[in-house]
Structure 1
């Protein structure tokens, strides 16, 4: 197991190096002056130019420039945003919790809904209920997320007026920034309108979370159903049933435990999907997360922000995938043996 972890750490370090090389190369691949792309300064005066050239090692070779880029990334000097002229690392710290909050709640919904429905669909695969769940999963899997989001907005916001269409919380509530996670910040604020603000934030969170959770929920239904059906045909399941155990006992004691082991690997895969889909969801619902910020940066030709956004999102996705692989190996003896 120690050797496996060392291999994973080495692979993670290799991927990070390759990712940093790509992010560094973007400074030269983007239009404009590479020094401006690295610093984020719109204009560089004659007095600043020699100092910045020396600091960013622009008078040296690419290897020395790349090593200097790594040092700046590690130290937190990510440059400035072309659009706001603010520190990029500060903007990312402000926006990233909103995306993580949305993705985390969507992932929880997909697990708490997708896994039970997948188990129900696998109990009697030829039954009416199983076919209905499979048809529902196939429909949800085929829905374009932007169309589904606009449809829910039209029904629940415009027609019924139950839910808001955009934002994280109403403009009437002043919640001080502490962690960046809105629900946690509301609980920590201890304001006199805490309950009203919490209810308002939940109303703002409901629609984008449902939209974002649709695709991973359908994937979890299909994956859990197939995993249960595969386990249900194993010899130890047949042996347990031959010993006289009821169907529910076989399901909970033997089938479910082994069928859910491969599901743990889906955490990383679905998280990667959620981060990608969150960009579209954040634009539609005006959710102030890093996905919307990155898309706005593309429209604004904010090259330093694109460079930093690519680096932080890729690092986050790779890290979560690696952690889920390690957890799956810890929980699954067969995976450790392989």
Structure 2
């Protein structure tokens, strides 16, 4: 196990190095002045340009420039945004909790719905319930996320008027920001309208969370079904049945635990998918997360913001995938490679 973790950590370090090299290269690949792309400053005077080039190492080799670039990343001295002239890292810290909150609840929803439906479909294989669940999963897998979001808005917001169409909270409520996560901030606040604000925040969260959870839910249904069917065909399941155990005992004691082991690896993969799909969802629902922030940066040709957002989102996805891979290996001895 130690050698496996060592190899994984080495691979993680190699991927991060490759990612930082690519992020550093964007400063030269983006249009415009290289100094402006690395600093985010505009209208730089000749005297300031000389000083900045020395600080960034632009008068030295590319290798030295890359070292200076990593030092600035570690120190938190990222470039300034072209649009706001604020530190890109500060802006990312402000918008990242909204995306993590939305993606976390969507992932939780996909697990709560997808795993039980996948188990039911496997237990009722080739029955009408299995065909119904598999058919719904296929439809959900094929639906374009933007069309699905607009359809839900039209039905539940515009027609029925049950749910809001945009934002995280109504302007009627003012909640002090402590963690950046809306629901925990509301619960930790001491405002007199805390319960009303909590209900309003959940109503704002419901539609984007359902839209974002649709695709990973269908994947979890199909993957759990296939994993469960594979486990139910194993010899130890047949032996348990021959011993006289009930169907429920066999399913819970022997089948469920082994069938859910491969699902842990899918959690990391689906989280990566959620971060990608969140960009579309956040734009449609005006959710103030890093997805809509990055889309705005692309429209505005805000190159420092694109560079910083790419670095943070890619690092998050890589770290989560690596964590779930290690967790899966720890839980499943058969997956360990010494």
Match of 1:123 in 2: 123
Alignment partners' CA distance in 2, 1:263 and 1:327: 11
Match of 2:133 in 1: 133
1:264-319 alpha-carbon deviations (Å, 9 max, x no partner): 00011000000000000000000000000001000000000000010000000000
1:107-154 alpha-carbon deviations (Å, 9 max, x no partner): 000001000000000002111111100001001000000000000000
- C-alpha contact 2:4 2:337 (8 A) present in aligned 1: no
Alignment partners' CA distance in 2, 1:302 and 1:194: 37
Match of 2:98 in 1: 98
Alignment partners' CA distance in 2, 1:170 and 1:26: 38
Q: Give how far 1:333 is off.
A: 1.0
Q: Give how far 1:42 is off.
A: 1.8
Tell me the secondary structure at the aligned position of residue 68 of structure 1. Answer: helix
Alignment partners' CA distance in 2, 1:233 and 1:43: 69
Match of 1:260 in 2: 260
1:116-195 map, 5 Å: 116-195=116-195
Match of 1:329 in 2: 329
Alignment partners' CA distance in 1, 2:144 and 2:48: 49
Q: Give how far 1:330 is off.
A: 0.4
Cα distance change, pair 337–315 in 1 and its aligned pair in 2 (3 A) = closer
Cα distance change, pair 226–33 in 1 and its aligned pair in 2 (3 A) = same
Match of 1:49 in 2: 49
Alignment partners' CA distance in 1, 2:120 and 2:43: 62
Normalising by structure 1, we get a TM-score of 0.99
1:292-303 map, 5 Å: 292-303=292-303
Q: Which runs of 5+ in 2 are unaligned?
A: none
Alignment partners' CA distance in 2, 1:245 and 1:270: 35
**Cα RMSD after superposing both structures:** 0.7
Alignment partners' CA distance in 1, 2:314 and 2:262: 24
Match of 2:213 in 1: 213
1:189-232 alpha-carbon deviations (Å, 9 max, x no partner): 21011011111100000000000000000000000000000001
Alignment partners' CA distance in 2, 1:42 and 1:182: 35
Match of 2:238 in 1: 238
Q: How many residues align?
A: 338
Match of 1:29 in 2: 29
Worse-matched range after superposition: 171-180 or 220-229: 171-180
- Could you list the structure 1 runs, at least 4 aligned residues long, displaced by more than 4 angstroms after superposition: none
Alignment partners' CA distance in 2, 1:6 and 1:333: 17
- C-alpha contact 2:167 2:285 (8 A) present in aligned 1: yes
Match of 1:112 in 2: 112
Alignment partners' CA distance in 2, 1:188 and 1:38: 39
Q: Give how far 1:337 is off.
A: 5.0
Q: Give how far 1:176 is off.
A: 1.5
Match of 2:85 in 1: 85
Normalising by structure 2, we get a TM-score of 0.99
1:255-334 map, 5 Å: 255-334=255-334
Q: Give how far 1:250 is off.
A: 0.4
Alignment partners' CA distance in 2, 1:257 and 1:75: 44
- C-alpha contact 2:79 2:88 (8 A) present in aligned 1: yes
Tell me the secondary structure at the aligned position of residue 223 of structure 2. Answer: helix
